A and B are shown apart, each in its own frame.
Chain A
């Protein structure tokens, strides 16, 4: 094992090689010819256990490493000295634990990894993070940094960010979350990194409110910025000048930022009309804002998630001017401000619509028919939490949506009968996903599978924890269909079952088996016990209520504790 070829074999091969010295001209993709001189070992292996990988030039080996993840690369670097060197020199992406203890290692780390262009520095909330000095040292070592991700690096201040920006002027993407620097630092980045294309800011604590609020932007980066994403900012409006000044902005995402955004959207869209993608989630924005957005006539993607002051009127005015709309996601939060009227307007004006996701919106056959008839390119449709989408509506979709490829129905009063329509309708249908539709059973799904073999049918009636349909980072798309993240956790299923049993005992209901199924369907939300009891008392069959859905760490702990107790109770009952 190892480099134990016989010397005779090597020398004979060397003779062969020398007599066929390759020409210097090369059209090879990766390795220049001269590398072959270093690798005199064999073209033709005669046996023994030769080291064939040495034939491969450094660049080829690096190319292999490219397909490996960090852990595998780490292991490869320990194979031998050559691999250690190549792995280090070819690693362009590095993700580090940015605790204060990192500082003394920075020199040696970046000597080994001297070609890093994408860097993530992540600290946890409990530990002290790296300080300004460390960041500046890193910026000196990685002059060619194109991407930087900072998480909970609370030791970094405005001064550090400024010094960093001056060293890494080629930065293209900056993403910072839970940092504590402020407007000065942000402005320094915008002033120095004139090639910045993407900026993502979440929870920047140093941005002060009220009179002391320093405006951010536009800076030298304004003309290069293509994407701006702001999340959970207390005083996000101070980014106004930046957004307004980014003349080439294509994507704007605003999530859960406080304050009124109508006015800012108005001033933004007066100057920036190049926007193609807009995400608004849990924002104070109304039809006034929507009208402002309609100035962006090239708009293709719009997400309106839990913005109950946006109504049919706003949607209508937007659709009249944004005729190129391709993807529309609306989470109406069951407020019924957006419904048939708005959707019919969209269908009539936006003939290019390819993807439609409706959550907590109640469309009837009227709008579904209009959409099916007018949007001839509608390929992906998801309907979630609609009280009005039942079997007749599915039949309508099946009959009229010619281009539909993927269909997802969740928590709607659809039954097995509705599935029958899908067996023959929607000629282009490739995949259908049914989640938490209580009246749809395994038998129904099997029937559909058997009657339409080319169709992939995914049934998930899991009595699992129901999560917020709006992903905080925008709707997750899985092959084009919005995925609603709901991990099927077996322990929680047991908890649900146990809770049902325990509660049915407590409530003194009639038959355990019949009520359990019903209750299992009701159990949802992170506030497992509270929601459960509330629902049983109100006998509200709709699983989605207006329970507070914010994921709360404290609740999780309570939940786990409850689960433990209930599970114990279950076992005692069943014993």
Chain B
């Protein structure tokens, strides 16, 4: 069931969404997941390893691939990994991580920061 898209992928020769390298990483994932599903610590370790060995660019491709293959667990996993990578980090760090540049007008960022800040600050999460 997880791989209904895979058949289509293999049938579709012109498919450019998923490069072979990515497919090699994504497809064995279910087995890996099943093995380490029970063990949270192992998952964390695997996540760390993935983060170290795989560049952000690869991660985004993995997300795209998982999405295309309709593989929810992998998609959750990769998105969560990206989220963990940018958790508690500064705005600049996040930009660097993804190779992005700010396209705000000068002063706009500061204004945005201040605009609703007080309405969020000190309010606990739901």
Which residues does A use to contact B, with CB under 8 Å?
1-3, 16-17, 20, 22-23, 26-31, 36, 43-45, 49-53, 55-56, 60, 63-72, 74-84, 93, 95-97, 101-102, 105, 108-109, 112, 118, 120, 122, 147, 149
Contact at A52–B72, with CB atoms within 8 Å?
A: no
What separation, in Å, do the CA atoms of A102 and B119 have in the docked complex? 7
A483 to B83 alpha-carbon distance, docked (Å): 31
Chain A residues, Cβ within 8 Å of B64:
31, 55-56, 60
Complex contact A70–B119 (CB within 8 A): no
The majority secondary structure among interface residues of chain B is helix
Residue of B nearest to A16 (CB): B16
Q: How many angstroms between the C-alpha atoms of A43 and B64 in the bound complex?
A: 10
Contact between B79 and A36, CB atoms less than 8 A apart: no
B113 sits at the interface (CB 8 A):
yes
A142 to B45, CA, bound (A): 41
Residues of A within 8 A of B101 (CB): 1-3, 51, 80
Query: Contact: A3 with B100, CB < 8 Å?
Result: yes
Q: Which of A16, A52, A120 contacts B98 (CB 8 A)?
A: A52
Give CA–CA (A49, B123) in the complex, Å. Answer: 38
What are 11 sample pairs from A and B whose C-beta atoms fall under 8 A apart? A2-B101, A17-B16, A55-B61, A55-B64, A60-B67, A76-B94, A80-B102, A80-B104, A93-B126, A105-B115, A147-B126
CB distance B122 to A53 under 8 Å? no
Most buried by A among B66, B71, B86, B121: B86
* A78 in contact with B124 (CB, 8 Å): no
* A516-B126 Cα distance, complex, nearest whole Å: 44
Instruction: Select from chain B the residue with minimum beta-carbon distance to A68.
Output: B83
Residues of B within 8 A of A22 (CB): 14-17
State whether the Cβ of B27 lies closer than 8 Å to any Cβ in chain A.
no
Q: Is B119 touching A20 in the complex (CB atoms < 8 A)?
A: no
Q: Which residues of A contact B122 (CB under 8 A)?
A: 97
Q: How many A-B residue pairs have CB under 8 A?
A: 165
Partner of A30, one of B67, B80, B116: B67
Is residue B48 within 8 Å, beta carbon to beta carbon, of the partner chain?
no
Residues of A within 8 A of B4 (CB): 27
Q: Is the CB of B98 within 8 A of A51?
A: yes
Separation of A101 and B84 alpha carbons in the complex (Å): 34
Task: Give, as a whole number of angstroms, the nearest-CB distance from B111 to chain A.
Answer: 11
| Contact A97-B123, Cβ < 8 Å, known A27-B5, A27-B8, A64-B82 | yes
C-alpha spacing A70/B124, complex, angstroms: 9
Instruction: Confirm or deny: B103 has a beta carbon within 8 angstroms of a beta carbon on chain A.
Output: yes
Nearest Cβ distance between residue B30 and chain A, in whole angstroms?
Answer: 15
Contact of A79 among B12, B63, B80, B95 (CB under 8 A): B95
Please tell me if the beta carbons of A50 and B99 are within 8 angstroms of each other in the complex.
yes
Chain B nearest CB, measured from A88 CB (Å): 10
A81 touches B90 (CB 8 A): no
CB of B89 within 8 A of CB of A75, answer yes
Q: Does B120 contact A (CB under 8 A)?
A: yes
| Residues of B near any A CB (own CB < 8 A) | 4-5, 8, 12, 14-17, 19, 56-57, 60-61, 63-64, 66-68, 70-72, 75, 79-80, 82-84, 86-91, 94-96, 98-104, 109, 112-113, 115-116, 118-126
| B100 in contact with A78 (CB, 8 Å) | no
| B109 in complex: contacting residue of A50, A63, A70, A78, CB < 8 Å | A78
Cβ of A95 and Cβ of B125 under 8 Å apart? yes
Select which of B60, B112, B119, B125 is within 8 A of A84 by beta carbon: B112
Note all chain B residues with C-beta closer than 8 A to A101: 118
A92 to chain B, nearest CB (A): 10
Q: A27-B70, A97-B120 are in contact. Are A78 and B112 (CB under 8 A)?
A: yes
Q: Which of B66, B80, B99, B113 is A52 in contact with, Cβ under 8 Å?
A: B99
Q: Are B79 and A64 in contact (CB under 8 A)?
A: yes
Q: A51-B99, A67-B79 are in contact. Are A45 and B57 (CB under 8 A)?
A: yes
Q: Is A96 in contact with B125, judged by CB distance below 8 angstroms?
A: no
A30 vs chain B, min Cβ distance (A) = 5
Question: In the complex, what's the smallest C-beta–C-beta distance from B78 to chain A, in angstroms?
Answer: 9
Nearest residue in A to B78 (C-beta to C-beta)?
Answer: A64
Further pairs besides A3-B100, A80-B103, A84-B112: 15, Cβ < 8 Å? A2-B95, A3-B101, A27-B8, A29-B75, A30-B75, A31-B64, A51-B101, A55-B61, A56-B60, A64-B79, A72-B89, A75-B91, A80-B95, A83-B100, A108-B116
Among B80, B83, B87, find the residue whose CB has the most chain A CB atoms closer than 10 A: B83
How far apart sit A273 and B15, CA to CA, in the bound complex (Å)?
A: 59
Query: Is the pair B119, A53 in contact by a Cβ cutoff of 8 Å?
Result: no
Other-chain contact of B119, A49, A63, A93, A105 (Cβ < 8 Å) = A105
Question: Is A23 a contact of B12 with CB atoms below 8 Å?
Answer: yes
**A105, B114: Cα distance in complex, Å:** 12
Q: Which residues of A contact B16 (CB under 8 A)?
A: 16-17, 20, 22, 43
Q: Are A43 and B57 in contact (CB under 8 A)?
A: no
Residue ID in chain B nearest A109 by CB atoms: B116
List the 8 shortest-distance A-B pairs measured between CB atoms, nearest first: A2-B101, A67-B83, A20-B16, A52-B57, A53-B98, A95-B123, A64-B79, A78-B91
Residues of B within 8 A of A93 (CB): 126
Distance in angstroms from B14 CB to nearest chain A CB is 5
